[in-house]
Amino acid sequence: MRLNAPPRLVAHLSLVHDSAGEILEALQACWPDLPIDRDAVLFGAATHDIGKVLHPAELVGPGNRHEQDGPALLEQSGFPPDRSRFARTHGTWNHEANLAIEDYVVALADTCWKGSRDITLESKLASGIAELLGMEAWEVFMALDEIVTGIADQADERLAWQRRAGG
């Protein structure tokens, strides 16, 4: 299925994918034993807003219909539900129970690539990592804060690239 994503969406998905890759590298450096599905995170980051193909007004304005319709669009294209879920969970992470850390990493990449921070999201990810590794959540949060700060500090360059690449 050919989706004909607008350049702005392609640019955004590329930036979130790259930010997710940076987060994954930093997580691996901090916690080499962290069990995380790298391929799932990168897929989720690269496709999380695909529903905006169906709702292009949400590329420049508010709305979350893309979160409702994105998973079905991916599944119609042959992707399994365990991958297509990121098109929903990147925006619903604060309203769903028992999400995997991969869901939080995708949501975090979608937040921090542009320099934004969300303490609730970062705390949920830190708690998930701490639980998996048997660590204190505050200790993980401190390291995660440094990771996110480093990514958020590069926001101006990414935003400039997005303007050049996709408007």
> What pLDDT is stored for residue 70 in this prediction?
93
Tell whether 43 is covered by a domain: yes
Tell whether 1 is covered by a domain: no
Tell whether 82 is covered by a domain: yes
- Domain around 130: 7-166
Instruction: Say which DSSP state 98 is in.
Output: S
Q: Which residues of the chain have pLDDT under 50?
A: none
Tell whether 55 is covered by a domain: yes
Could you give the number of structural domains in the chain? 1
At what angle are helices 7-30 and 38-47 packed, to 10 degrees?
160
Tell whether 66 is covered by a domain: yes
Tell whether 92 is covered by a domain: yes
53: its two tokens? 């193909």
Buried b (16+ CB within 10 A) or exposed e, 38-47: eebbbbbbbb
- Contact 7/53 with Cβ under 8 angstroms? no
- Contact 55/63 with Cβ under 8 angstroms? yes
> What pLDDT is stored for residue 59 in this prediction?
84
Could you identify the residue written with the tokens 């294209």?
A: 77
